[in-house]
């Protein structure tokens, strides 16, 4: 079965799962498991809250949100997931493969909504889905190729590109194959730069410089996301233009990003949560793909790197940091 079919049919492989009907006057409890604090995460999380309000779920009226942050330490996910399960929340919202794995291992009965996950085929199939997980995917097979094209517009004469991936994360094997294929079609050599620990970063950037890499594609998972500021700083220090998968890297000093709009994904995830609180079964809510993508450019970083961003690219940007 291909990935697109799997995204549509993920919820079909289930054991019986009974979702309670919405009860009048009940105060519902949503557990949230995130990588960062609510303060750091406020843009996306506010979109989630707004969507819930539109669906009739309002904090301090009929809703309590139990927010748990791993504080950029993915190893904390299992303990925090177990804590939310002990609180007997009505549904758990989370994002990213490591967090989803932790929640899925902690419960097979509490509904789980993924605000975003890189590849539900790799992450959820390995967990033997039993009908309590649904939500949204950021998977799109064309994104890696689009990122190469965008960074090539910024770096004329691009001959060699490095892929900063954590190959210990199952989603990146497929992304690497896609990047290799597109790079070959464009006549660009591709180098895999595997980062599995924070301590690997300095060596990886030295390796990229030694291999005469002209630019980077930096993907996001727990490790890379937690080190986004350090990665952006290393890219500038090594004079390496880089394109990232989310604008969180750009706000941390990165050059350019292109990827799914997480603000929209969190807003859409509120619809999944609301439907479940009203009695829908997660198994009846198929995993959906992103519909909106964002291009974000940091002109301050471009100036530091001595790069001129083409006017045409600037006109396409959803956000420009000056």
How many C-alpha atoms does 312 have within 13 Å on its Cβ side?
3
What are the pLDDT tens digits along the chain (322 aa)?
Answer: 444 444 444 444 444 444 445 566 799 999 999 988 887 778 889 999 999 999 999 999 999 999 999 987 888 999 999 999 999 999 999 998 888 989 999 999 999 999 988 766 544 544 444 579 999 988 776 888 899 999 999 998 999 999 999 888 777 888 899 899 999 999 999 999 999 888 899 999 999 999 999 999 998 777 788 889 999 999 999 999 999 998 989 999 999 999 999 899 999 999 999 999 999 999 889 888 888 999 999 999 999 999 999 999 999 999 999 9
| CB 283 within 8 Å of CB 12 | yes
- Nearest CA to 193 among 229, 160, 222? 160
Do 143-260+294-321 and 3-139+261-292 fall under one CATH topology? yes
- The correct CATH number of 3-139+261-292 out of 3.40.50.970, 3.40.50.2300, 1.10.287.70, 3.40.1360.10 is 3.40.50.2300
Any residues with CB less than 8 A from the CB of 225 and at least 6 apart, and which?
Answer: 35, 72, 96, 246, 248
296 phi, psi to nearest 5 deg: -125, 135
Q: What are the domain boundaries of the chain?
A: 3-139+261-292, 143-260+294-321
- The alpha helices in the chain, defined as continuous H runs, are 3-9, 42-54, 77-86, 97-106, 120-125, 143-154, 171-185, 201-210, 222-226, 228-237, 247-251, 262-277, 299-305, 311-316
Three-state DSSP at 70 gives coil
Instruction: Compute the Cα dihedral for 276, 279, 280, 282 and give only its sign.
Output: positive
| CB 316 within 8 Å of CB 295 | yes
pTM of the model as a whole = 0.79
Any residues with CB less than 8 A from the CB of 42 and at least 6 apart, and which?
Answer: none
| Fold designation for 143-260+294-321 | Rossmann fold (3.40.50)
The pLDDT value given to residue 118: 75
The count of residues in the chain is 322
């Amino acid at each position: 079965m291909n990935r697109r079919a799997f995204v549509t049919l993920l919820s079909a492989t289930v054991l019986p799962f009974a979702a309670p009907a919405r009860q009048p006057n009940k105060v519902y409890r949503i557990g949230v498991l995130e990588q960062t604090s609510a303060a750091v995460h406020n843009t996306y999380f506010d979109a989630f809250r707004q969507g819930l309000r539109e669906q009739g779920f309002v904090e301090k009226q009929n809703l309590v949100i139990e927010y748990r942050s791993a504080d950029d330490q993915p190893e904390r996910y299992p303990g925090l997931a177990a804590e939310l399960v002990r609180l007997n929340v009505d549904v758990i919202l989370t994002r990213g493969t490591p967090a989803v794995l932790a929640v899925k291992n902690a419960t097979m009965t509490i509904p789980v909504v993924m605000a975003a996950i890189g590849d539900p085929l790799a992450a959820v199939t390995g967990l033997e889905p039993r009908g309590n997980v649904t939500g949204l995917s950021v998977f799109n097979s064309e994104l890696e190729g689009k990122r190469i094209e965008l960074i090539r517009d910024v770096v004329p004469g691009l001959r060699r590109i490095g892929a900063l991936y954590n190959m210990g994360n199952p989603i990146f094997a497929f992304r690497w194959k896609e990047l290799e294929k597109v790079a070959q079609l464009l006549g660009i050599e591709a180098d895999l730069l595997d980062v599995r620990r924070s301590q690997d970063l300095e060596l990886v950037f030295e390796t990229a410089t030694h291999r005469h890499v002209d630019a980077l594609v930096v993907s996001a998972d727990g490790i890379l996301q937690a080190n986004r500021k350090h990665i952006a700083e290393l890219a500038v220090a090594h004079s390496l233009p880089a394109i990232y998968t989310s604008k969180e890297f750009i706000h941390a000093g990165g050059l350019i990003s292109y990827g799914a709009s997480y603000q929209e994904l969190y807003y859409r995830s509120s619809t999944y949560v609301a439907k479940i609180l009203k009695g829908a079964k997660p198994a009846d809510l198929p995993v959906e793909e992103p519909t909106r993508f964002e291009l974000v450019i940091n002109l301050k970083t471009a100036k530091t790197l001595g790069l001129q961003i083409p006017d045409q690219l600037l006109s396409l940007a959803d956000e420009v940091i000056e």
